[in-house]
Chain A
């Protein structure tokens, strides 16, 4: 919260999770929200899709040794819809994901990711299909998500990425952890509050 960390580039291998409208209940089942800290969330992403009732591993990209160590996640449309639980991006981040590339993201999820310094960037449907194919063909492919040039590059290819300019500035200038920024304006906050009639119970 005090030290400014600028996030401009994420480089590494990738892992694909196919499907539209993957909700945060699937990313992290609600029972794990009973823990009082985020510390163990990295053990739980997609838990019920990765393990059966006897905790035996199922087929899932996050269980696949081919994708071990991946830092970039490829997804399709409306990823992270549903519950506002920050436990979902916390789980992915603590599992090792440092950037998510997809067709689109749900609003609360994308905001939560940005505030943790986890970029969510958008490419079009054709390009996400190409990226998913490239990583499935060769899981050792190295990708670089560059927030300054707004591209993702791999093996001589360069694809444009999109993200809201405010998120890009927050990440690349190190303002993503917003509390310090907001708290610096407490005097102005008090002035705004004083002008709102409900703050004084509608007295004159």
Chain B
């Protein structure tokens, strides 16, 4: 008998039944919410008099609109204050546990779930945020959902879902010097396209992924959605179990042993047949930088910008150059940078800050650059400070901020101005994404952002390693 994938196993154990539409009613083991996509969902519950039957399976925090400098309430932005008050009222009324600004557990929703051990292998997880795929690093089926679906999870702890196919993505060999998980996922998206994952869950594996620690796997899974895949995951292994052991929501003692046995049982079987398999050689991957207006438009640092006529979608390349102001055939190396942003649910974890601090240590940010380091959670901030990373960054001329989503999507006061070019460790380079309709974003790994900050332009981080 052919083996089954982790996706199949979790899908089956969480299936409540088939709906009249033909969709599966899928139980959701963990629901994470934040201030942005939930207010209308709670309004709909109130209008129809529905309760939250599994309220102990929902956890709330505040991340998107949080100012990262002055967090004093009321916020200076009245809209941010109103939205925060709405969330506070909703979690109180419906009995949902909330990690607010004064909690040590506050942070980006995709950073705190794993940090608290809420995210576990073999679970289904949903959150009204497309980067929910991050949690797949644990062997969790994690879905980014819209507000009407948030309402469904609150009211029923289930979603109406269609089953996906599974594409296995093997990254073989090893990562070269100066190459990080961010480069691996940017490379995968470039090869498979921003819409290439439509209809698929991505299962990442192979020696490069197997050797990654949990924070690194989260970076890879985080950007699955940028490749069009609703779900991305890595099979749980000893690295996963070691990370989870001792975290607040993870069972202890015999419970942990039983949990590990269950977690092992839900990994994809060795003889599984996948709907599709792709294989990439880790050695082919260079430090990677996006040049365009979607995360698939990237090049290795030694490459030149593509010519529209040699591209599969010339109009898309032209549209990107029109916004970015580049010329075909120019090198990405040396592109000027005005802003450097290290943070986000993609690259705002302790390992990211450590790696970036190594580059920054004993050096100075170029005076032409405004550089921000925004830890992904209050806990990440605390741990980084215990190691003295904040001093390294401040000494080098970076601003050291409070936890939040910050300039990834610029819903707080951290924004690009005008035509500024940002070197960013975040996940999206869409037009207007970082708060200025004319602003420009170059996505890259946090070490590449640190190196760009020091030089005021895109450089090859391998020169530092």
Contacts and interface: CB of A to CB of B under 8 A. Distances in A.
Interface stretch (B23-31, B275-283, B302-310, B395-403): B23-31
Given A34-B83, A104-B198, A175-B21, A196 B228 contact: no
Given A1-B44, A183-B50, A36 B19 contact: no
Contacts of A33: 36-37, 64, 411
Contacts of B162: 164, 166
B341 to A, nearest CB: 15
A84 interface: yes
Contacts of A85: 36-37, 146
Contact of A179 (B80, B151, B431, B433): B151
Interface residues of B, number: 84
Interface stretch (B121-129, B358-366, B372-380): B121-129
Interface in B75-97: 77, 79-80, 82-83, 86
Given A48-B432, A189-B16, A23 B195 contact: no
B256 to A, nearest CB: 8
Given A26-B431, A178-B152, A179-B156, A166 B23 contact: yes
Interface in A158-204: 164-167, 169-170, 173, 175, 177-179, 181-183, 185-186, 188-189, 192-193, 195-199, 201-204
B171 interface: no
B155 A108 contact: no
B334 interface: no
B455 interface: no
Contact of A189 (B13, B158, B294, B296): B158
A198 B29 contact: yes
Contacts of A134: none
Contact of A111 (B21, B37, B146): B146
A204 B255 CA distance: 8
Contacts of A19: 315-316, 319
Contacts of A35: 79
B15 interface: yes
A34 B20 contact: no
Contacts of A182: 19, 25, 152, 155-156, 158-160
A25 B79 contact: no
Interface in B235-261: 251, 255-256, 258-259
Contact of B195 (A21, A86, A203): A21
B409 interface: yes
B329 interface: no
A26 B432 contact: yes
Interface residues of A, number: 66
B130 A36 contact: no
A116 interface: yes
A189 B19 contact: no
A185 B149 contact: no
A202 B255 contact: yes
Interface stretch (A60-68, A74-82, A143-151): A74-82
B20 A82 contact: no
Interface in B85-142: 86, 120, 122-123, 128-130, 132
A30 interface: yes
B22 A169 contact: yes
Given A78-B228, A106-B195, A202 B251 contact: yes
Contact of A82 (B53, B152, B316, B430): B430
A23 B17 CA distance: 33
Given A34-B83, A86-B148, A170-B23, 17 more contacts: A19-B319, A25-B430, A26-B432, A29-B432, A30-B409, A33-B64, A53-B437, A84-B130, A104-B198, A112-B147, A177-B148, A182-B152, A182-B159, A185-B25, A192-B27, A193-B157, A202-B256
11 contacts: A36-B39, A38-B40, A82-B428, A86-B147, A89-B146, A106-B198, A108-B144, A179-B152, A182-B158, A196-B14, A202-B259
